[in-house]
Each structure stands twice: as structure tokens, then as C-alpha cells.
Amino acid sequence: MEFRIPVGTWIDGFFDWLEDSFSWLFEALRQLFIWMFDAVDWVFATPPALVVIALVAVAALLARGWKFAVGATFGLLFIMGVNQWDNAIDSLALVLVAAFLAVVISLPLGIWAARNDTVSKILKPVMDFLQTLPAFVYLVPALGLFRIGVAPGIIATLIFAMAPGVRLTELGIRGVDKEVVEAGQAFGAHPRRILRQIQIPLAMPSIMAGINQIIMLSLSMVVIAGLVGAGGLGGDVAQAISALNVSLGFEAGLSVVVLAILLDRFTASFGKGLGLYSRWRRSYVAKKEADQQARFDAEEEVARGGRRPVASH
């Protein structure tokens, strides 16, 4: 007699129970995901394409400089030139919604794991499981619970992409110099204030790296999400595979590459403080600190001379 563990039967029964017991919740989540997708898609799809390209070019100039602005402009013009603009906007909306939800979930979990060793020990194997399970497997229950459309694509992308956000947030906060944290504790600062004003700012490069990875993994799911009716560039790639249409596959694939490069460079610039705005901000803060130090030195000089500082008008 052949022995077989009925794992698939158990999992199938579990999802049947979920669908029967919480169908109202999954329908509400489905409508929420569709509403968020439509809202983001409307923001980028309503203005003319050239206006969006101009705004992205200005943002790229402020983020990293003129070279990135020129590259972003040519990349977006390429997407428009191969008639993939509408699909690219749909894919961008799906990625932004899924990445936003992944960030909202992963950052608090990473902070919690960094402050509690028990939570960290529980989350690590869970994140390992989510990262190693093949991405196609997420689509099967998502499709059954959320039906065909953007909703199963968003939920599968969210689950697949959130692991690096949790890991790098925990790593960044745990990597903050303990002496700095102890100094805040010595001054009587509340743990929440230490987290908000010391740990998170110092861990921001690692946190931004996690957000960058979330966005990149979300983009890698675009093609797979196209198989369940999410549309966008993934839908064209899936269509090209089924029809062996090499030209359509390359046009949609190169458009995905352009979006990936743009989103990667933008998030990297926020984490590293590049670009005109960041330089202006650093110079402004440095000037403000220099002015405060000059006033402090002047007051010290007056105090040593036994005179009060003259009030400025």
C-alpha cells in the first residue's frame, strides 16, 4: 500500500473554509485593491503623456541630477514610442499599490522584530518561507479568493515582496550604535521617542534599501500577475508567450526594464541623499547649525567679558 501525506487536501480544505467563512472580507479587500489601483492609475493616466514625462524629468533632476533626468526622459519616450504607455501606467499603478501595502505591513513588523527577540525568531522562518515559495504558487489561492483581475495580482505581489522590507528594517534598527541609544536613555527619553528620533533616522539607509527591494520584487511579479488578468505590461508578455510574438514580448519587456531602472534610481536617491534637493537641504541644515554655533560662541564671549549680549533687532 502506497503511503501519501495528503498535504494538498488539507490546504485545499483550509482555503475552502476561508472562502466560505470570510467571503465578505475578501470581497471587501478586492474592492479596496481595485479602488486603490484605479485611483493611482487615474493620477498617471489622466494628464497627457508628455506632461507626465516632463514632471518625471523634473523630479529626476531634483533627485539625482541632469543625467538621470535625460535618461528618464528618453526611457519614457521609448515606452510611448512602442505604444506601451497605457500598459506601463497600469503596471506602474499595480506596482505602487502593492509596494505601498508591503511597506505599510513590513516596516512595523521589522521594527517589532528589532525590539523583540521572540518576534524576530518567529518572523525569520515565515519570511524565509514567503521568499522561497515559488511566486506562481501565490496566484492559485489568490485567484480563488479574489477572482480574476488586479486584486489577485496585488495580493500575490504584496506577499512575495514584503520579506526584504521586514529583514532590512530589523537589520537597520539593530545596527544602530548602542551608545547613541544609551545616551538617549540616559537623558530620560521615552523608548518611542528614541525609536522615532534616533533609531529610525540612523537606520534610514537600510530601510530605504528594503523599500527599494520591495519595489524591485513587485516589478518582477508584473509579468506573473498578467497571467491572472492584471493586464498591463505583464498581460502583453503573457500574450506574446502564448502567440510566440517576439516583437511584442521584447517591447513589453524593455518597457518593464525602463520602469525598473526609474523606480530603482528614485528610491536609491532618497536613501543616499543625492540630487539638487538633498544638496540644498544639507547646505541649509549646515548653515543653520553654523549660525547657531556662532550665536553660542558670541554669547560665551560676552559672558566671559562680564557683559550681557545686546538684543538683536
pLDDT digits (tens, 9 = 90+) for 261-272: 898 888 887 766
User: What pLDDT shows up at residue 289?
Assistant: 63
Place of cell 511597506: 103
User: What pLDDT shows up at residue 76?
Assistant: 93
287-299 average pLDDT score: 68
- Could you tell me if residue 72 is inside a domain? no
Q: What mean pLDDT is reported for the chain? A: 82
- Could you tell me if residue 185 is inside a domain? yes
- Who wins on pLDDT, 300 or 226? 226
- Could you tell me if residue 100 is inside a domain? yes
User: Could you give the percent of the chain with pLDDT greater than 70?
Assistant: 86
User: What pLDDT shows up at residue 100?
Assistant: 92
- Could you tell me if residue 227 is inside a domain? yes
The answer to which of 53-62, 158-167, 301-310 has the lowest mean pLDDT is: 301-310
Q: DSSP letters of the chain?
A: ------HHHHHHHHHHHHHHHSHHHHHHHHHHHHHHHHHHHHHHHSS-HHHHHHHHHHHHHHHH-HHHHHHHHHHHHHHHHTT-HHHHHHHHHHHHHHHHHHHHHHHHHHHHHHH-HHHHHHHHHHHHHHHHS-HHHHHHHHHHHH-SSHHHHHHHHHHHHSHHHHHHHHHHHHTS-HHHHHHHHHTT--HHHHIIIIIHHHHHHHHHHHHHHHHHHHHHTHHHHGGGT--HHHHHHHHHHHHT-HHHHHHHHHHHHHHHHHHHHHHHHHHHT-HHHHHHHHHHHHHHHHHHHHHHHHHHHHHHHT-PPPPP-
Report residue 57 as a C-alpha cell.
524629468
| Per-residue pLDDT at 221 exceeds 90 | no
| Per-residue pLDDT at 20 exceeds 60 | yes
Domain containing 194 equals 9-46+82-271
Nearest to 111 by CA among 168, 158, 69: 168
What pLDDT digit, counting tens, does each position of 126-148 carry?
A: 888 888 887 777 777 777 778 77
- Could you tell me if residue 29 is inside a domain? yes
| Per-residue pLDDT at 161 exceeds 90 | no
- Could you tell me if residue 221 is inside a domain? yes
State the total domains in the chain. 1
User: What pLDDT shows up at residue 153?
Assistant: 84
Q: Quick one: pLDDT band at residue 288, thresholds 50, 70, 90? A: low
268, 204 in Cβ contact below 8 A?
Answer: no
Residue-wise burial string across 143-169, b where 16 or more C-beta atoms lie within 10 A, e elsewhere: bebbeebbbbbbbbbbbbbbbbbbbbb
- Who wins on pLDDT, 92 or 276? 92
Q: What is the CATH number of the domain that holds 174?
A: 1.10.3720.10
- Could you tell me if residue 293 is inside a domain? no
113-133 average pLDDT score: 88
| Per-residue pLDDT at 73 exceeds 90 | yes
Handedness of CA 26, 32, 37, 42 (dihedral sign): positive
- Could you tell me if residue 238 is inside a domain? yes
User: What pLDDT shows up at residue 71?
Assistant: 92
In angstroms, the CA 98 to CA 143 distance is 16
161-174 average pLDDT score: 90
User: What pLDDT shows up at residue 72?
Assistant: 92
Q: Quick one: pLDDT band at residue 14, thresholds 50, 70, 90? A: confident
